[in-house]
Amino acid sequence: GQQLNQSPQSMFIQEGEDVSMNCTSSSIFNTWLWYKQEPGEGPVLLIALYKAGELTSNGRLTAQFGITRKDSFLNISASIPSDVGIYFCAGQLSEVGDGLTFGKGTHLIIQP
Amino acid sequence: GAVVSQHPSRVICKSGTSVKIECRSLDFQATTMFWYRQFPKQSLMLMATSNEGSKATYEQGVEKDKFLINHASLTLSTLTVTSAHPEDSSFYICSTQESGAPGYGYTFGSGTRLTVV
């Protein structure tokens, strides 16, 4: 089946630093999504990407969908303590009706 | 935006018993719902796709007789873990997607922590 390779697995950073994480895949996805998950909760959508090359921002978060539709990155600028959590990339093969394939997650830890 | 309610949030059951988890779409009709499983410190893995009024589609390696899915209405899907064993202990999460809203309309429930003792 499809796999998403997400890196890094974990990040230890100082408050105020910028963060970058990325995902790659051997498959082409129609939609690419970035989620954040807190302990004991379901994932919460951060950014959705639909078009190849699309660059989208949501506050301090910026994500881009690769031209080949096989990769994406997520950047967080000026990190704050509430950014702590696990970030997942996820891909959807078709527009509607397909479940998501998730990356393994990036655990973000922020030191004050 | 869309709201998906999942119940219960936590359940502890004895080995050999069955547990039912409910997933409801509160403000829209969902013809399709998805069930995921997440083991500690791991990613979410799609278990099955639940289709209203028809049989669920299971991912490879997921036992359909063990994980019974019923999607009897446009707002409710249930996952029943039958004859649960300790290795079934996991975080189960449902999600649904509003028709006509690809990607962005994909909403998750808050999950159910199942512990089998």
What local confidence, expressed as pLDDT, does residue B1 receive?
65
Residue range B5-9: mean pLDDT, rounded: 96
Give CA angle at B100 (B99, B105), nearest 5°. Answer: 70
pLDDT tens by residue, A68-95: 999 999 999 999 999 999 999 999 887 6
Q: How distant is the Cα of B47 from the closest Cα of chain A, in angstroms? A: 9
SS3 B22: strand
Q: Which of B4, B32, B110 is closest, CB to CB, to A97?
A: B32
Q: B103 and A88: CB-CB below 8 Å?
A: no
Over residues B10-59, the pLDDT tens digits come to 999 999 999 999 999 888 788 889 999 999 989 999 999 988 888 899 99
Report the gap between the CA of A36 and the closest CA in chain B (Å). Answer: 11
B116 in contact with A, Cβ within 8 Å: no
Q: What does the pLDDT average to over A23-48?
A: 93
Q: Is the pLDDT of residue B98 over 80?
A: no
Residue B44 CA to residue A105 CA, distance in Å, equals: 9
Give percent of chain B above pLDDT 70.
Answer: 92
Q: Does any CB of chain A come closer than 8 Å to the CB of residue B34?
A: yes
The whole-chain average pLDDT of chain B stands at: 90
> What is the per-residue pLDDT across A5-14, written as a single tens digit (0 to 9) for each?
999 999 999 9
From the list A1, A2, A18, A10, the residue with the least C-alpha distance to A78 is A18
The percentage of residues in chain A with a pLDDT greater than 90, rounded to a whole number, is 83
